[in-house]
C-alpha cells in the first residue's frame, strides 16, 4: 500500500514537468521568468522527471524480494539524497503555510526548498505549490517508512546499542566466541583484537567530523543572519523582496547544518555515553543529506543564473559571490559529514562481521 501511495504521489509532479517540456504553460503565469529560457527549462524539467522517477524505483526496491540483494552503497546514496531533498520540504512547507495564515501575505506559496525570492513576480500559479509540495510530503512519509522497515530488517544490528559501549560490546563478543571455540589460531586472535579497535571510529573520522563542524560555521551563520533579517551578501532587489517564506528556508538550513554537525560529532567521538545510536544516526543521516543535497542544488542554480544573467541580472537579483560561497560551503559540509557517517557505519559493521576463514 505504501509503495503504491508513494508512486501515486509522484504523478502530479511528473505530469506537470512532462507538460512543460512538451510546451504547455499550465501553472505558469504570463511574465514568469520560467518562460525566458526555454532550453534551460527543458533540460531542468527533464532532470526533475528522472529524479522523481527514482522515487518509484526506490519504492519498488524497498518492497520487492530482489531489493534485499542490492548492494548497500547502491541503495544508500540515492536514499540519502532523497531523504535530504525531501526533509526540508516536510518541515518547511507546513511552517510556511502557518506563517501565511498568521499574516505573511507574501508567504505560503514559494515552497520550502526554493528560497530564491520571487514575491514580486510569481513564477508559478499559486495552486501549483500545494499540489507539488503536498505530493513531495506524501512521498517523503511513504518512502521514509518503507526505508525504515527495510533497514531494520537488513541492518538493525549495525546501529543497535548506545554510544560509548563499543569496547564493552566487543569484549562480550570475544568472550562468547572464546567459549564456543575449542582452539583458535594466533591469526584469528589478532583479527579479533583488530576488530576491537574498529568498533569505535578512528582518529581520521574524528578529525574529518571536526573539520566539518568548522566548515559548517560559515554557512550556518549566514543562513541564520538572513533569517533574522540581515541583508549582507544579498542583492538589493532580492533583499527588498525577502519575506517569511525565505526566512523559514534559511532558518531550516541553519538548523539542519547544526543538527548534522552535532549528530556526526556524537557518532565520531562515541559520546555522550548512553545515547541511542539509532537516534543519533537518524539525525546525522537526515541533516547531512539536507545540507549536502540542497547546498549542491542551490550552488548549481546560482552558478547557472550568474553565468546566464538575463532577466535576473536586469532585475538586480543576480546571486552574489557570498551567496554562492555559502551554498557551496553548505554542500561540502553535508558531503563531508555524510562521509564520516559512512565510515562510522562501516566500522560498526566490521566489528559485527564473523571471522574470515584463514
pLDDT, one tens digit per residue, over 95-142 is: 999 988 887 655 555 555 555 444 445 678 889 999 999 999 999 999
Asked if the model's pLDDT at residue 149 lies above 70, the reply is: yes
Q: Which residue has the higher pLDDT, 110 or 317?
A: 317
- The pLDDT value recorded for residue 209 is 96
- The pLDDT value recorded for residue 30 is 82
- The pLDDT value recorded for residue 52 is 86
- The pLDDT value recorded for residue 357 is 34
Q: How far does Cα 63 stand from its chain's mean position?
A: 22
For helices 38-61 and 72-101, angle between their N-to-C axes, nearest 10 degrees: 120
Cis peptide bond prior to 272, omega within 30° of 0: yes
Instruction: Give the tens place of pLDDT for each residue, 20-71.
Output: 888 888 988 887 777 777 777 788 888 888 888 899 999 999 999 998 889 9
For residues 170-174, give the mean pLDDT: 44
Q: Among residues 156, 133, 128, 138, which one has the least CA distance to residue 32?
A: 128
For residues 332-340, give the mean pLDDT: 97
Asked if the model's pLDDT at residue 80 lies above 60, the reply is: yes
CA distance 121 to 35: 13
- The pLDDT value recorded for residue 178 is 46
- The pLDDT value recorded for residue 106 is 54
Q: Which residue has the higher pLDDT, 244 or 354?
A: 244
For residues 318-338, give the mean pLDDT: 95
- The pLDDT value recorded for residue 255 is 97
CB 172 within 8 A of CB 352: no
CA distance 148 to 70: 16
List Cα–Cα distances, 127 to 6, 28, 123, in angstroms: 21, 10, 12
> Strands (DSSP E) along 177-293, which ranges?
none
CB 254 within 8 A of CB 227: yes
Local confidence band at 335 (pLDDT 50, 70, 90 cut-offs): very high
CA distance 331 to 216: 9
Per-residue exposure over 3-20, b if at least 16 CB sit within 10 Å of its own CB, e if not: bebbbebbebbbebbeeb
- The pLDDT value recorded for residue 117 is 43
Q: What Rg do the C-alpha atoms of the chain give, in angstroms?
A: 23
- The pLDDT value recorded for residue 122 is 67
Instruction: Give the tens place of pLDDT for each residue, 243-300.
Output: 888 999 999 999 999 999 999 999 999 989 899 999 999 999 999 999 999 999 999 9
CB 208 within 8 A of CB 333: no
CB 329 within 8 A of CB 256: no
Q: What is the mean pLDDT of the chain?
A: 83
- The pLDDT value recorded for residue 313 is 64
Asked if the model's pLDDT at residue 358 lies above 90, the reply is: no
Asked if the model's pLDDT at residue 189 lies above 90, the reply is: no
Amino acid at each position: 500500500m505504501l509503495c503504491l501511495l508513494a508512486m501515486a504521489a509522484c504523478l502530479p509532479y511528473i505530469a506537470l514537468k512532462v507538460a512543460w517540456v512538451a510546451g504547455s504553460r499550465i501553472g505558469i503565469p504570463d511574465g514568469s521568468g520560467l518562460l525566458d529560457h526555454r532550453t534551460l527549462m527543458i533540460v531542468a524539467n527533464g532532470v526533475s522527471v528522472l529524479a522523481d522517477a527514482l522515487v518509484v524505483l526506490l519504492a519498488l526496491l524497498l518492497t520487492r524480494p530482489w531489493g534485499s540483494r542490492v548492494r548497500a552503497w547502491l541503495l544508500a546514496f540515492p536514499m540519502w539524497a532523497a531523504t535530504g531533498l525531501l526533509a526540508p520540504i516536510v518541515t518547511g512547507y507546513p511552517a510556511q503555510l502557518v506563517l501565511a495564515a498568521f499574516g505573511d501575505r507574501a508567504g505560503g506559496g514559494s515552497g520550502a526548498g526554493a528560497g530564491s525570492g520571487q514575491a514580486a513576480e510569481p513564477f508559478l500559479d499559486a495552486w501549483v505549490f500545494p499540489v507539488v509540495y503536498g505530493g513531495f510530503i506524501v512521498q517523503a512519509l511513504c518512502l521514509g517508512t518503507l526505508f525504515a522497515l527495510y533497514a531494520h530488517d537488513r541492518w538493525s544490528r549495525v546501529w543497535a546499542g548506545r554510544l560509548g559501549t563499543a569496547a564493552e560490546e566487543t569484549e562480550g563478543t570475544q568472550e562468547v566466541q572464546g567459549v564456543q571455540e575449542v582452539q583458535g589460531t594466533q591469526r584469528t586472535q589478532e583479527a579479533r583484537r583488530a576488530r576491537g579497535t574498529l568498533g569505535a571510529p578512528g582518529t581520521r573520522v574524528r578529525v574529518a567530523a571536526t573539520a566539518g563542524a568548522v566548515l559548517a560555521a560559515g554557512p550556518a551563520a549566514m543562513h541564520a543572519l538572513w533569517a533574522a533579517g540581515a541583508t549582507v551578501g544579498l542583492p538589493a532587489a532580492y533583499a527588498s523582496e525577502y519575506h517569511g517564506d525565505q526566512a523559514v528556508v534559511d532558518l531550516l538550513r541553519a538548523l539542519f547544518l547544526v543538527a548534522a554537525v552535532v549528530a556526526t560529532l556524537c557518532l565520531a567521538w562515541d559520546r555522550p555515553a548512553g545515547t541511542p545510536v539509532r537516534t543519533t544516526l537518524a539525525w546525522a543521516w537526515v541533516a547531512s543529506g539536507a545540507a549536502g543535497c540542497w547546498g549542491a542544488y542551490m550552488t548549481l542554480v546560482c552558478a547557472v543564473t550568474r553565468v546566464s544573467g538575463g532577466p535576473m541580472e536586469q532585475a538586480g537579483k543576480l546571486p552574489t559571490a557570498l551567496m554562492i560561497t555559502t551554498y557551496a560551503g553548505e554542500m561540502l559540509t553535508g558531503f563531508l559529514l555524510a562521509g564520516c557517517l559512512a565510515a562510522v557505519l562501516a566500522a560498526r559493521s566490521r566489528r559485527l562481521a564473523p571471522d574470515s576463514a584463514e
